[in-house]
Structure 1
């Protein structure tokens, strides 16, 4: 339970009162203070405000002051009751007081989840990427089907443990993978937390809702695999496959996403101290990058008269690199998952785990992971993280599948 009191904290004869918010959480007492815009005289506050008086003017002033302070107190306590307690701090308190004096214009904010997704996309249209918008729309379409299945509106305030369990069961019956369900549920929570930020009611269970990730195999092309790919005889390759083969090698030696490397041009290359560098802006992160070009990439550029291969669609690239790796006989039995038609002729595909020839598991992302994995331990991790763009070393190590045991064994090399 929170409480509020007001203090006069100035040496001046007239000053604004300070509001102090007090509450206990996990057996710890918290106190935050913030300045109001309510100005009062020091003499009145210290000598007259809380004392009974026969002076009608003082009595009337006490009533007016108490009414205003009660309004401020109620505003703050109402905001406190609807906020995640872990978000409360001095800045939050000052924001609530500012909102009291300058209330936000009332906006017709949707309270059902599906409508809110459109509202969210419009609200954050200048902050999120097209890829994120596309993912949000995919989730929205799934929720539309789920809403039709349960025949009732999905309200934001009802996103709780019961909703999670029912939605997970619904998705599993349609053969979606555990990690797809987990990833999309995280996004659903993001919508709800954004709604709470704007003042909508959310369920008290929201922050504690979790879906476990399933461990997946980290598929990558070794240097030996890449050598096989480089050595595919020209007779086996069409022009299209030769183009894709070169892109695959480029991706494995630059560590970039397909959204970036497929846009590489010779105009982005500059030479400093005899070293070839490529400068570009990452599409996903917006980061300006300068990446050194590996000799393997320079070989391809020399072969093509200083030009990169021609660009193709993501889908064609995904299909053709499997053909290239099959021609290179990348046949090592490998655990992983691939898209499989649920029923013959259904045209509905879901990921299915199993053991396959490695070439069957190759996707456009494999170049980035191959770069990170192959050069781990050969190039300082700090430099690798710069090129791959991971935020932390922990994220990077998880990305290439390094466990605590792996790290411990590697450390023994220094003993």
Structure 2
């Protein structure tokens, strides 16, 4: 049982009144209450003001209210994994004395907006994640808090626990939840740097270690690309999507970069035709040499711009028409909640824009030096690249041995 005692430590006319808060022998903290008193008006034995005037009675009343406030905070937090400390005690005193003033950036959604509009070198993917976090927070406030806005200082261990349970109930994966907890931590950290007070528990909030589930590497083989190239399609939208899909498998770029390619990106350097672009995610400028089959697609007429959602949808239909129906392990959204479900599906069902970059990396591995492939796909390390295409360091060693054998001939 926590105990509270008030005391003064000075003989000055305006002596600070301290609170001594004790949970056990090891957990004892002392902080200023924000109230002062003349030592002549203080009862050391009772640890309270002498009741000689209305003013002294008012101080005693406020100290009693402070005791109730702190004990309530303690009781409300004890079952939530709260770590109690001197900082926690000071935070409760400040709350009681209304010293913690709510300003614009105290509001979580406002801090998210400030992060997005900060001018920091954020990728389009990071901005999208921040926007998605804001949408979630607004929906959570409406559904669970009757519209009450969440403050930066509300982000404690209990909030994170509720965040996890809320998302798990919606069928979201631990990796999904971990990603958004990391984004939330980044928002709160940035707000803290800007002087916004955070909860004493915030530093105890740890990132969730993401679990990488072994996925089957889904690619379009060169034989499958040939089937797609030759299948008869009636809809103009499908014919256009086919061009993007086949071109993507030959240049190895993320969909956001692929679908933005225009005639301006096509260059002729010393008789070599290339695509030159600046990757959105990395900010890296790359020049990709075009092999004959890629040049053929471009010279037949560069496909027109479509959005990512339509591209994903049309690619499935194109692959279905081409009978890309090998049974593979993959993920699909199959229910009303659009929850990703792992299962066995025909390959066309799980085809998306991501297949372009992965097909390029896989199909050209061993034929083009890995360092050159990595420069095009923008993988930071060889380990990441090999994992991306489902290879191991042993595969790489085997590849090197082949090169050595060729040199020995």
Question: Which band: TM-score by shorter chain?
Answer: 0.5 to 0.7
1:301 to 298, 302, 312: 298
Q: What RMSD, in angstroms, separates the aligned Cα atoms of the two structures? A: 2.9
CA-CA distance at 1:360 after TM superposition: 0.4
2:382 to 372, 386, 393: 393
Residues in 1 aligned to 2:287 and 2:102: alpha-carbon distance in whole angstroms: 44
Q: When the two structures are superposed, what TM-score results if normalisation uses the length of structure 1? A: 0.65
CA 1:242 to 1:149, structure 2 compared with 1: closer, same or farther past 3 Å? Answer: closer
Residues in 1 aligned to 2:184 and 2:393: alpha-carbon distance in whole angstroms: 31
Matched, 1:266 2:263: yes
In the other structure, the counterpart of 2:68 is none
| Aligned ranges 1:143-158 → 2 under 5 Å | 143-151=137-145, 154-158=150-154
| Aligned ranges 1:26-175 → 2 under 5 Å | 108=103, 110-122=105-117, 124-125=118-119, 127-151=121-145, 154-175=150-171
CA-CA distance at 1:363 after TM superposition: 0.7
CA 1:116 to 1:272, structure 2 compared with 1: closer, same or farther past 3 Å? Answer: closer
In the other structure, the counterpart of 1:228 is 227
CA 1:215 to 1:412, structure 2 compared with 1: closer, same or farther past 3 Å? Answer: farther
The DSSP-based 3-state class of the residue aligned with 2:334 is strand
| Aligned ranges 1:200-279 → 2 under 5 Å | 200-202=197-199, 203-206=201-204, 208-215=206-213, 217=215, 218-232=217-231, 234=232, 236-279=233-276
In the other structure, the counterpart of 2:45 is none
CA 1:158 to 1:396, structure 2 compared with 1: closer, same or farther past 3 Å? Answer: farther
In the other structure, the counterpart of 2:172 is 176
Would you say the 8 A contact 2:279–2:286 is kept in 1? yes
Matched, 1:329 2:328: no
The DSSP-based 3-state class of the residue aligned with 1:253 is helix
Residues in 2 aligned to 1:240 and 1:172: alpha-carbon distance in whole angstroms: 37
Report the count of equivalent residues.
301
Would you say the 8 A contact 2:157–2:202 is kept in 1? no
Q: Unpaired segments of 5 or more residues in structure 2?
A: 1-85, 88-100
The DSSP-based 3-state class of the residue aligned with 1:349 is coil
Would you say the 8 A contact 2:324–2:348 is kept in 1? yes
Q: Unpaired segments of 5 or more residues in structure 1?
A: 1-80, 83-105, 343-347
Q: When the two structures are superposed, what TM-score results if normalisation uses the length of structure 2? A: 0.66
Q: Deviations over 1:150-194 (max 9, x none)?
A: 426544345344433321121111122333222222211211221
Matched, 1:353 2:351: no
For structure 1, which segment, 405-414 or 356-365, has the greater mean C-alpha deviation from structure 2 after superposition? 405-414
Residues in 2 aligned to 1:171 and 1:249: alpha-carbon distance in whole angstroms: 37
Q: Deviations over 1:304-340 (max 9, x none)?
A: 1xx3122222222111110111111111111111122
CA-CA distance at 1:204 after TM superposition: 5.0
Would you say the 8 A contact 2:316–2:352 is kept in 1? yes
